[in-house]
Amino acid sequence: MRVLGIETSCDETGVAVYDSERGLCAHAVYSQTEIHAVYGGVVPELASRDHVRKTLPLIRQTLTEAELSPEQIDGVAYTAGPGLIGALLVGAALGRALAWAWEVPAIGVHHLEGHLLAPFLEDKPPPCPFIALLVSGGHSQIIHVPEVGIYQLLGESVDDAAGEAFDKTAKLLGLPYPGGPQLARLAERGDPTRYRFPRPMTDRPGLNLSFSGLKTYTLNALQQTLGERDDTEQVHADIARAFEEAVVDTLVIKCRRALESTGVPRLILAGGVSANRRLRERMAAAMQPLGAELYYPRAEFCTDNGAMIAYAGWRRLAAGHQQPLAITPRPRWPLTDLVPLA
């Protein structure tokens, strides 16, 4: 079965074709980052407008690259939520109409299920059960996945998402939007011993997270250094490093706790922040003493993309799920509301 996947939940237009026999056939992502950069954040109306311009050309391009004709597509999957309502509507309307015209089934995919299943696009997919650390621009969750389609929330951020914290801290350091990946790059040059930020909520039981307080530490470090040091660039790198260490450490501590308390010997990382190199390395090191396995998608499938939507859509379509002839995106849609596959 071949499924066309469409992602338009935020500021990336992603399209892909997944083949249940051959794997991923082709995929393309167009990022709107440049459009929104001057505004310092995503402008929903501009995002929606750009999705209307880009989605269909990307579909055509992806089919051409996959060397597939429309008759060879057996289903259409699109992100139905959560996300920006106007942006979701574009992909949902186009995708649902396309499936109607092709006379194939359609499925509205949960964006976070897409992220969670992205590791399945790799050569060695994780077996179930596993614990998932989902760290993205809008979410930071630790989830128990006994089988694909069943998601039990073990803990989540009580305030900022991890990616959001990366972006906000980057802004404080004067990095252009969206600053997460740039902050990570800057941190490479930072001295990890220079500043020490706390590891929020690690001193109490449970698996919830909190990242908003780290902004204050960043500001304090910046202020305290004013006048003390004149190597501003190195100060910024040292602060970036301290921030990254704090986030990574916190996530490692909580994931270790989740694995120990559930007895599940497997962890997957997903979402934009799981592209972070230090997070991957430190998590891998933490798995060894536990005898646990670690899985994560290639960097380009950590952030928003059509491949994960095509894959998740295929899993649901193959299990007999279908979206009726209506366009019904859900901007707010708890992952735990998803119906199990079987």
Partner 1 sequence: MPANPNDQPTILALETSSGACSAALLHQGAITQHLELAPRRQGDLLLGMLDALLKAAELKLSEVDVIAFGQGPGAFTGVRIGTAVAQGAAFGANRPLLGISSLAGLAHAGWRHYGGGEQRLFAAIDARIGEIYCGAFAVNGQGQAQPLGSETVTTPEKLTVPEIAVTHGVGNAWALYDEPLRARIDLAQAQIASTIHGEAQDIAALARWSLDQACAAELAQPVYLRDQVAAIPGSALLDSAPVAA
Ligand X SMILES: Nc1ncnc2c1ncn2[C@@H]1O[C@H](COP(=O)(O)OP(=O)(O)OP(=O)(O)O)[C@@H](O)[C@H]1O
Residue closer to partner 1 (CB basis): 53 or 229: 53
Residue closer to ligand X (CB basis): 42 or 104: 42
Count of residues that interact with ligand X, criterion CB under 6 A: 23
Which positions ≥6 away from 56 have C-beta within 8 Å? 94
Residue closer to Mg ion (CB basis): 136 or 274: 136
Output phi, psi for 278, to 5 deg. -65, -35
Residue 137 in contact with ligand X, rule: CB under 6 A: yes
The minimum distance between CB 100 and partner 1, in angstroms, equals 6
Among Mg ion, partner 1, ligand X, none, what binds residue 166 when CB lies within 5 to 8 Å by partner kind?
A: ligand X
Q: Judged by CB under 6 A, which of 108, 181, 200, 313 binds ligand X?
A: 181
Largest CA distance in the chain: 68
Q: Judged by CB under 6 A, which of 5, 14, 180, 297 binds ligand X?
A: 180
User: Rounded to whole angstroms, how far apart are CA atoms 5 and 27?
Assistant: 9
Residue 168 in contact with ligand X, rule: CB under 6 A: no
Residue 272 in contact with ligand X, rule: CB under 6 A: yes
Residue 139 in contact with ligand X, rule: CB under 6 A: yes
Among partner 1, ligand X, Mg ion, none, what binds residue 126 when CB lies within 5 to 8 Å by partner kind?
A: none
The minimum distance between CB 310 and ligand X, in angstroms, equals 16
Count of residues that interact with Mg ion, criterion CB under 5 A: 2
User: Tokens at residue 279, please?
Assistant: 């997070």
The sheet carrying 293-295 orders its strands as 152-156, 140-145, 130-135, 266-270, 293-295
Extract long-range pairs of 298-303: CB within 8 Å, 24+ residues apart: 298/121, 298/122, 299/275, 300/29, 301/118, 301/121, 302/118, 302/269, 302/270, 302/271, 302/272, 302/273, 302/274, 302/275, 303/12, 303/272, 303/275
Residue 311 in contact with ligand X, rule: CB under 6 A: no
Q: Token pair 């880009």 is at which residue?
A: 54
Q: Judged by CB under 5 A, which of 304, 308, 314, 317 binds Mg ion?
A: 304
3-state DSSP call for residue 272? helix
Among Mg ion, ligand X, partner 1, none, what binds residue 163 when CB lies within 5 to 8 Å by partner kind?
A: ligand X
Q: Tell me the sheet residues that pair with 2.
A: 19
User: Tokens at residue 103, please?
Assistant: 């006379």
Q: Tell me the sheet residues that pair with 140.
A: 135
User: Rounded to whole angstroms, how far apart are CA atoms 325 and 333?
Assistant: 20
Q: By CB under 6 A, what part of segment 26-85 binds ligand X?
A: 83
3-state DSSP call for residue 334? coil
Residue 276 in contact with ligand X, rule: CB under 6 A: yes
Residue closer to ligand X (CB basis): 11 or 238: 11
Residue closer to Mg ion (CB basis): 167 or 304: 304
The minimum distance between CB 76 and Mg ion, in angstroms, equals 20
Amino acid residing at 6? I
Q: By CB under 8 A, what part of segment 305-334 binds partner 1?
A: 325-329
Residue 275 in contact with ligand X, rule: CB under 6 A: yes
Residue 79 in contact with Mg ion, rule: CB under 5 A: no
Q: Is 77 left (phi over 0), alpha (psi -120 to 50) or beta?
A: beta
Count of residues that interact with partner 1, criterion CB under 8 A: 38
Residue 164 in contact with Mg ion, rule: CB under 5 A: no
- Alpha carbon 329 to chain centroid distance? 19
Contact residues for partner 1, defined by CB under 8 A = 38-40, 43-46, 48-49, 52-53, 55-57, 59-60, 70, 85-86, 89-102, 325-329
Contact residues for ligand X, defined by CB under 6 A = 10, 83, 111, 115, 136-139, 163-164, 166-167, 178, 180-181, 184, 271-273, 275-276, 303-304
